[in-house]
Chains A and B, each alone.
Chain A
Amino acid sequence: MITFLLQGLRISGPYVLAALAGVFSETGGVVNIALEGILLNGALAAVLAAYWTGSPWLGVLAGVLAGVAAAGIHAFAALRYKVDQVISGLAVNFLVAGLSRFLLKLVFNSTSNSARVEGLAPWAGVDPFLVLTVLIVIASHWTIKRTVFGLRLRAVGEHPRAAETLGIKVLRMRLWGVLISGALAGLGGAWLSLDQHQFTDAMSGGRGYIALAAVIIGKWTPLGAAAAALFFGFAEASQIILQTYGLRVPTQFVQMIPYALTLAAVAGLIGRSRPPAADGIPYSDEQD
């Protein structure tokens, strides 16, 4: 039972962080399909830095920075040049997929995986990532619901024109939303690769898209999205456990759960799921 719990939490972690990342970006009104690429970039940078410096903590830092960098490209195209947000997100995913394979080849001379690196040492028996993530979930909820920053972020996502009238710099707020999103998903990527002590090709494995599903099911709130991500993670873990007991649920059906639930959610079958009103709509700053 304890192993199942720990296994579930371990699997859920990157989902939870990526889902929170999605909430920050979309609360500010920027759709973030780039989560998949951000996770991957974070995972790669974490392993590279840990490999070169020997310090997994520098790996974590590098993962966060690489996430911010990938999100920065998305923000640059979507906010500065008003490129459609779905398009610029997809472009980032393509770019990072190529880049990660390129560096894998160049640094480790492999098409599949990196060398082994040191993971994080546990804090009193607990995975530091787990502690950080719990703190981040609470902090995200508090930031978005209770702070001036959160209020402004919600304002530019709901009604940017009105927010601007009140003197809020819309594009700057949206940029913050996307960059925080990059930091969180980058951390999620670092968890993914440092937990397995190596980077493997395409290791984000669709988690960025599942995180987007969690954002929708969680109705664009930090706690809701984190809970949905946790649920998806545990569904994946339970399937591994069932298999070890000889009960065979086809893997593919468990894989389909998040997607089928999301379809039901957007179809209004399990309560109406409504995005921020200006989510995905580019905004032109008049003073720009």
Chain B
Amino acid sequence: MMKALAREGRWIAISLGITFAVLVLSILALRQNPLTVFGLLAERLLLKPYGLGQMLYKATTLIFTGLGCALAFRCGLFNIGAEGQLYAGAFLMAVVAPHLPLPMILLIPACLAIAALGGGLWGLVPGWLKAKRGAHEVITTMMMNFIALALTNYLISAHFHEPETIHTAELPVAAYLPQLPMESSAVNASLFVAIALAFAVHYFLWSTPLGFELRAVGSNPTAAKTSGVPVDMRIFLILVLSGCLSGLAGINFILGYKHYFEQGFASGAGFMGIAVALVAKNYPIGVIFSALLFAFLSQAGLTVQSVIPRELFEILQGLVILVVVICQNKYGGAE
């Protein structure tokens, strides 16, 4: 861990430095005092339980989708379908869970399993198309995203919405994940699930034989094939597992916050997961920190919008991606 940090320190420092410089210059260009803005950020975001809680809440969703993307990228597959997988998992969980007469201790694990299953199913189609028909996963996962959005949209409006609303029925109280005591912020126990999962993915990829095989498929498929790895089956498995991880992202909103599925409830979190994984160089533990960075930028805009337009921070999110990937290529050193 420390060795990794030392190796990666250079590009991290340079890209954060550039982003920070752009932020300061933009604030000056808007005729505001950067110190006022940073003061506000410290006071209302980092030191106030509510602000910090909202940031952690946003980071939670991003850790799940970031892990989903990172797992696939690590194994050489460019799965950009986290958005669709998130919606598939969340929707399946939201419509099935209210019909399960289970006590809390069973219901919550069941919900997690259903969400993972839904996301996995959405990863299964591109997995099959890749393994059996050679169809490129960038195209298939992107198409599956839009199909998921349109399909859940249709199913909600035609069948599953509560009268007078655009969301599904509420889940039974036994499925609620506890909120964390940070004023009225939305952060909840999903955060711990996400962090535990990051360590689990790390362990799986680097300390189990199957994880080693999956990474081998990514770094050198020909060599993997020669040494007897069933590459097609492994490709299929990678895309399904990656889908399962992104599918779990919905628990943050549904089990931990609003307790129902609503169209567009996590809009963009799947796409942002791609950025989260890339900035973390597809290291599962790194995903936690990278998710915190993007959650910070997103919450920072809301925090200081009385002084500068919050849209400035949306630009910064795009800029961070670009600056980081360029700096990784330029200063990143060997893998």
Contact = CB atoms under 8 A, between A and B. Distances in A.
Contacts of A83: 322, 325-326, 329
Interface string A93-111: 1111111011011100000
B18 interface: no
Given A252-B150, A252-B154, A263 B325 contact: no
Contacts of A260: 143, 147
A96 B313 CA distance: 12
B183 interface: no
| Residue in B143, B144, B151, B312 whose Cβ sees the most chain A Cβ within 10 Å | B143
Interface centre among B78, B313, B314 (most CB of A within 10 A): B314
Contacts of A104: 311
Contacts of B312: 98, 102
Contacts of A216: 139
A81 B329 contact: yes
Given A94-B318, A263-B143, A266-B140, A101 B129 contact: no
Interface residues of B, number: 40
Contacts of B275: 90-91, 94
Contacts of B321: 87, 90-91, 94-95
Interface string A156-171: 0000000000000000
B314 A90 contact: no
Contacts, number: 123
A268 interface: yes
A172 interface: no
A99 B80 contact: no
A82 B311 contact: no
A213 B143 contact: yes
Interface in B294-314: 309, 311-314
A267 interface: yes
Contacts of A151: none
Contacts of A95: 315, 318-319, 321-322
A94 B142 CA distance: 16
Contact of A268 (B78, B133, B154, B315): B133
Contacts of A252: 150-151, 153-154
B100 interface: no
B315 A256 contact: no
Interface residues on A, range: 35 or more
A54 interface: no
Given A81-B330, A82-B329, A266-B129, A98 B150 contact: no
B309 A77 contact: no
A250 B158 contact: yes
Contacts of B325: 77, 81, 83-84, 87-88, 91
B235 interface: no
Interface of A: 31, 73, 77, 81-84, 86-88, 90-99, 101-102, 104-106, 206, 209, 212-213, 216, 250, 252-253, 255-256, 259-260, 262-263, 266-268, 275, 280
Nearest first, the 9 closest Cβ-Cβ pairs linking A and B are A95-B318, A98-B314, A94-B318, A98-B315, A252-B154, A102-B311, A266-B135, A91-B321, A252-B150
27 contacts: A31-B138, A77-B322, A81-B329, A82-B329, A87-B325, A90-B271, A90-B321, A91-B322, A94-B271, A95-B315, A95-B318, A95-B319, A97-B318, A98-B315, A102-B309, A102-B312, A105-B309, A105-B311, A212-B139, A252-B150, A253-B154, A260-B147, A263-B144, A266-B136, A266-B139, A268-B135, A280-B138
Interface of B: 78, 80, 125, 129, 133, 135-136, 138-140, 142-144, 146-147, 150-151, 153-154, 158, 271, 274-275, 278, 309, 311-319, 321-322, 325-326, 329-330
Given A81-B330, A255-B146, A266-B140, 12 more contacts: A77-B322, A86-B138, A87-B274, A91-B322, A93-B318, A98-B314, A99-B318, A252-B154, A255-B150, A259-B144, A259-B146, A263-B135
